[in-house]
């Protein structure tokens, strides 16, 4: 998959940008967004060029400045969206459609970023080694009963930093530090790999629980090689002791350098249409941001939960503190 993604990036970046098309920089993996892009092009006739950038999206836009060919950025995690806005590489967008269909809590107060989908940061638990109800809170992951039983990706990855930021939000920095130290003490191995790799480790018996985003369950279940991993676990929706289940977003923004603002706005509004939200829900197994669009049957089968009500911009503001905390406890060491 990495070679395919790299090929897209090289092709899109080296080829001349089409003035009458739409040019996107995306940190979302190509297979997750291509179905929506195909639906947009089929409906509008607008060609779309995509450059997949695993890292350095904001830095690239800063370096390119007004020369950038990008009209839209697609990325994951509130901190990355806030980072782009703070760097001045996005612009405000006025749209009645976006205001109507994206809740205020899932868009920038200045209308520079907009949530497209939501995902929950959950626990994947071994069906045969973790009893129902044995995991109920994020705080519980620091309990010594889990010693040698937890797997996770890097503690400094954006997904985990957002969770740590939420822990700081709910309990303060010192309690969050103690929690991170407790989770580190319970790790079965050094943090490594992505969220799917943790589920594979549970399947292989290396650990019993892991942190991961909800939609990976759907992606693994649809992959012949990875289905066995998915079948070995169940999703548990933990909550903060003083809140709900941690939520994050994938989102979009129009670049400050956009040469195709009209097409860019059409694309942004398309992404919150019922059609696009249904595609995200059914193919990517994410939670729609638009009211009235149902979760896929598979996602619905994972059960109900109460989303945490922490303001995403508040969490974005705590990202730097969360990063310093995880580095100071040497979580990945």
Say what the pLDDT of residue 29 is: 80
Average pLDDT, integer, range 182-190: 98
Question: What's the CA gap between 333 and 327, in Å, rounded?
Answer: 9
Question: Where are the domains positioned within the chain?
Answer: 2-118+249-295, 119-246+305-328
Phi/psi of residue 33, each to 5°? Answer: -110, -15
Asked if residue 282 has pLDDT above 80, the reply is yes
Asked if residue 13 has pLDDT above 60, the reply is no
Residue 101's H or E segment, with its range, is: helix 96-101
Enter the CATH code of domain 2-118+249-295: 3.40.190.10
Asked if 239 and 137 count as a contact pair (C-beta separation under 8 A), the reply is yes
Question: What's the CA gap between 134 and 137, in Å, rounded?
Answer: 9
Say what the pTM is.
0.88
| HSE of 111, CA atoms in CB hemisphere, 13 A | 11
Average pLDDT, integer, range 254-275: 97
Average pLDDT, integer, range 254-270: 97
Residue 9 pLDDT level (bands cut at 50, 70, 90)? very low
Per the prediction, the chain carries an average pLDDT of 92
Q: Cα separations (Å) of 181 from 79, 230, 318?
A: 23, 28, 18
* CATH architecture under which domain 119-246+305-328 falls: 3-Layer(aba) Sandwich (3.40)
Q: Cα separations (Å) of 267 from 45, 93, 117, 237?
A: 12, 12, 15, 33
Residue 164 pLDDT level (bands cut at 50, 70, 90)? very high
| HSE of 143, CA atoms in CB hemisphere, 13 A | 11
3-state DSSP assignment of residue 25: strand
Q: Same CATH fold, 119-246+305-328 and 2-118+249-295?
A: yes
């Amino acid at each position: 998959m990495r070679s395919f993604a790299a090929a897209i990036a090289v092709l899109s970046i080296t080829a001349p940008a089409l003035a009458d098309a739409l040019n996107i920089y995306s940190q979302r993996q190509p297979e997750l967004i291509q179905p929506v892009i195909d639906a947009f092009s089929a409906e509008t006739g607008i060609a779309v060029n995509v450059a997949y950038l695993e890292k350095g999206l904001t830095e690239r836009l800063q370096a390119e400045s007004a020369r950038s060919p990008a009209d839209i950025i697609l990325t994951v995690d509130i901190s990355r969206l806030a980072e782009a806005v703070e760097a001045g590489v996005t612009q405000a967008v006025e749209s009645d459609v976006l205001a109507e269909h994206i809740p205020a809590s899932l868009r920038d107060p200045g209308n520079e970023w907009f949530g497209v989908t939501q995902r929950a940061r959950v626990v994947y638990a071994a069906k045969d080694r973790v009893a129902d109800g044995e995991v109920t809170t994020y705080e519980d992951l620091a309990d010594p009963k889990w010693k040698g039983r937890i797997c996770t990706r890097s503690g400094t990855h954006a997904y985990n930093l957002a969770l740590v930021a939420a822990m700081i939000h709910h309990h303060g920095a010192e309690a969050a530090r103690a929690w991170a130290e407790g989770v580190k003490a319970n790790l079965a191995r050094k943090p490594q790999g992505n969220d799917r790799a943790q589920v594979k480790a549970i399947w292989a018996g290396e650990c019993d629980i892991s942190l991961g985003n909800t939609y990976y369950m759907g992606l693994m279940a649809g992959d012949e090689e990875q289905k066995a991993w998915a079948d070995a676990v169940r999703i548990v929706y933990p909550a903060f002791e003083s809140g709900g289940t941690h939520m994050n977003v994938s989102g979009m923004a129009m670049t400050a350098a956009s040469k195709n603002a009209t097409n860019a706005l059409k694309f942004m509004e398309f992404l919150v249409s019922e059609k696009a939200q249904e595609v995200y829900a059914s193919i990517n197994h994410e939670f729609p941001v638009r009211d009235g669009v149902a979760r896929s049957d598979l996602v619905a089968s994972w059960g109900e939960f109460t989303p945490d009500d922490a303001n995403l911009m508040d969490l974005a503001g705590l990202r730097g503190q969360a990063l310093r905390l995880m580095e100071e406890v040497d979580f990945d060491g």
